[in-house]
Structure 1
Amino acid sequence: MEQTSETCSSDLVDLIIDANGGLDYWNSVFSISTTFTFSGPALTARGFPGHHEVSISIDTKEPRVIFHRLRDLYGVWTPSRTEAGKLGSQEPPSIRLKPRDAFRGYTPQSVWDEHNLIYFVGYAMRYYFTLPFCLRLPGFQTQELPPITGPNDEQWRVLRVEFPDDFPTHTKIQKLFFDDTFRLRQMEYNVDIIGPRQTAHLCFDHRVFGQLIVPTFRFANLRVAGATHMTAFIVQVKDVQIHRTETTRSRGASAQ
């Protein structure tokens, strides 16, 4: 029987998920805590210069990220609400409803406030840490495209992904690139809340935490006229802790 591109993409998604820890293991994970550094010219242009250490907890079952530290801030991200407060302050955190709407009319030169920053970092990091398992959620559509030749003549398989409207991410249609061990090596997308510039997001230094394979060094390059690329963001993961259900741990599994 002839395979369609949709059938091939489904097979590819299964291979990717199995190689990155497996769906059974992922289903036992309810939260991921991570500390990482975050910097880059695009962050400076938004009004947040410097090299920042960030500590967050990511809910893998619901779209929620708790910020324990982001610069001098703490906060919470959800798609419909952000909270932002100053560490050490007795004042209650400020709240913004419909935080994505606040980006309307922004240009690549627009300066952000703390709610913009929490919204961007929150949805982006939850997306990165739930890949590739989120591809099996309802509403995702995938199609395998022809492979490309990556660095050192590596053959990378290419997955076109159309995201459901209720999954916060950079843009609705993206491309993901996987090597012959099914590790994520590159992502291509536009960042809708920043502007219509194509981004090539590269992933390096993959490490295993529990059974999950995590790229611990990422940099995102903007493709701009007159230049090959411009580095926009750099993310370096320092630590990851995997939190699993008690029923799983009681059967002898490690919390990692």
Structure 2
Amino acid sequence: MDKLLNDVLDAHGGLENWSKVTKVTAMVSLHGPFWEARGWPDVYMSQTVVLDPHHEHITFAPFTATDRMSVLDVWPERVKITDLRGNVIEERANPRASFPAPFEPAITPWNAIQVAYFTSAAVWNYLTAPFVFARPDVVAHEIAPWIEGEETWRRLAVTFPEAIANHNADQVFYYDDTFMLRRMDYSPDVTGKPPVAHYAYDHKSFDGFVFPTRRLVHLHDPEGVADHGFAPIAIDVTSVKLD
């Protein structure tokens, strides 16, 4: 295993401890102009998120109505919108293929299935990192460091397989000298592959594992410098419970 990855895993609670976790429950809110432009301005306020940490299964509730929830499963990929008893209201296999193209950030609308797929795949990966990097089908290795102001952040280049629904296959993760995540770069396929610089703040420990509790999504220029003046997406985590 890459030495940097090993240190990051240890700093976040340890891979052996993570292997014993069977369920993660988080209280999460996602907001920002990105959701309004998709046609769903308040859809992700005050969500209860429940996920399987080892297989990509995640639910959000309430989703689009107080008595509904979304469910993402992968391999094969399928999104369902159900009532709280599990009765299916709407579902789609291979939801990634349904996204409209070209994508115009300010005006392209998404339907509920598309919103659920994009967010569910993203948040599953956010809440399982860095432990998902240790999967045998994920490749992670250290690359050249990055200077951010007066700090030097070490970086992991991570390549995800098709078996993991994610923004895109190749991503970069930045860590400070305490091995905490400070930034991640990716280019979501379904939004036209924009150069995203996603920053992580306010790390807290929950049941022995460390999670950022504040995230801001920006764009970066060709040199990698982020535009901190605009954040289309913000993510706040109020609590995390691990069973």
TM-score calculated relative to the size of structure 1 = 0.84
Per-residue deviation, 1:104: 5.2
Per-residue deviation, 1:232: 1.4
Once residues 101 and 216 of structure 1 are traced to their aligned partners in structure 2, the CA distance between those partners, rounded to angstroms, is: 31
- How many residues end up aligned between the 2 structures? 232
Once residues 97 and 23 of structure 2 are traced to their aligned partners in structure 1, the CA distance between those partners, rounded to angstroms, is: 27
Task: Give the structure 2 partner of residue 4 of structure 1.
Answer: none
Q: What SS does structure 2 have at the residue aligned with 1:125?
A: helix
When residues 148 and 140 of structure 1 are mapped into structure 2, their CA distance, relative to the original with a 3 A threshold, is same
> Which of 171, 194, 197 is the equivalent residue of 1:174?
171
Is residue 5–residue 141 contact of structure 2 (8 Å, CA) maintained in 1? no
Once residues 67 and 143 of structure 1 are traced to their aligned partners in structure 2, the CA distance between those partners, rounded to angstroms, is: 32
- Please show how residues 68-83 of structure 1 align to structure 2 within 5 Å: 68-72=61-65, 73-79=68-74, 80-83=77-80
Once residues 196 and 55 of structure 1 are traced to their aligned partners in structure 2, the CA distance between those partners, rounded to angstroms, is: 29
Task: Give the structure 1 partner of residue 94 of structure 2.
Answer: 98
Structure label with greater radius of gyration: 1
Unaligned runs of 5+ in 1: 1-6, 244-256
When residues 147 and 224 of structure 1 are mapped into structure 2, their CA distance, relative to the original with a 3 A threshold, is closer
Paired residue type of 1:235: I
Once residues 70 and 224 of structure 1 are traced to their aligned partners in structure 2, the CA distance between those partners, rounded to angstroms, is: 34
Task: Give the structure 1 partner of residue 143 of structure 2.
Answer: 145
Is residue 127–residue 169 contact of structure 1 (8 Å, CA) maintained in 2? yes
Is residue 75–residue 84 contact of structure 1 (8 Å, CA) maintained in 2? yes
Question: Identity over aligned residues, as a percent?
Answer: 28
Q: What SS does structure 2 have at the residue aligned with 1:15?
A: helix
Deviates more, 1:207-216 or 1:140-149: 140-149
Paired residue type of 2:227: T
Once residues 14 and 237 of structure 1 are traced to their aligned partners in structure 2, the CA distance between those partners, rounded to angstroms, is: 25
CA-to-partner distance for each residue in 1:35-88, whole Å, 9 max, x for gaps?
111111111111111372211101112210122323424121113111114679
Alignment of 1:21 with 2:13, yes or no, is: yes
Is residue 52–residue 71 contact of structure 1 (8 Å, CA) maintained in 2? no
Deviates more, 1:206-215 or 1:76-85: 76-85
Once residues 35 and 71 of structure 1 are traced to their aligned partners in structure 2, the CA distance between those partners, rounded to angstroms, is: 17
Once residues 135 and 88 of structure 2 are traced to their aligned partners in structure 1, the CA distance between those partners, rounded to angstroms, is: 35
Is residue 75–residue 93 contact of structure 1 (8 Å, CA) maintained in 2? no
Once residues 166 and 209 of structure 1 are traced to their aligned partners in structure 2, the CA distance between those partners, rounded to angstroms, is: 28
Is residue 53–residue 71 contact of structure 1 (8 Å, CA) maintained in 2? no
Once residues 114 and 221 of structure 2 are traced to their aligned partners in structure 1, the CA distance between those partners, rounded to angstroms, is: 23
Per-residue deviation, 1:142: 2.1
Per-residue deviation, 1:97: 1.1
- Please show how residues 39-188 of structure 1 align to structure 2 within 5 Å: 39-50=31-42, 52-72=45-65, 73-79=68-74, 80-85=77-82, 92-103=88-99, 105-108=101-104, 109-151=107-149, 153-188=150-185
Deviates more, 1:78-87 or 1:203-212: 78-87
Deviates more, 1:113-122 or 1:136-145: 136-145
Once residues 126 and 232 of structure 1 are traced to their aligned partners in structure 2, the CA distance between those partners, rounded to angstroms, is: 20
Once residues 47 and 87 of structure 1 are traced to their aligned partners in structure 2, the CA distance between those partners, rounded to angstroms, is: 23
Q: What SS does structure 1 have at the residue aligned with 2:197?
A: strand
Unaligned runs of 5+ in 2: none
Paired residue type of 1:28: K
Is residue 200–residue 214 contact of structure 2 (8 Å, CA) maintained in 1? yes
Is residue 218–residue 227 contact of structure 2 (8 Å, CA) maintained in 1? no
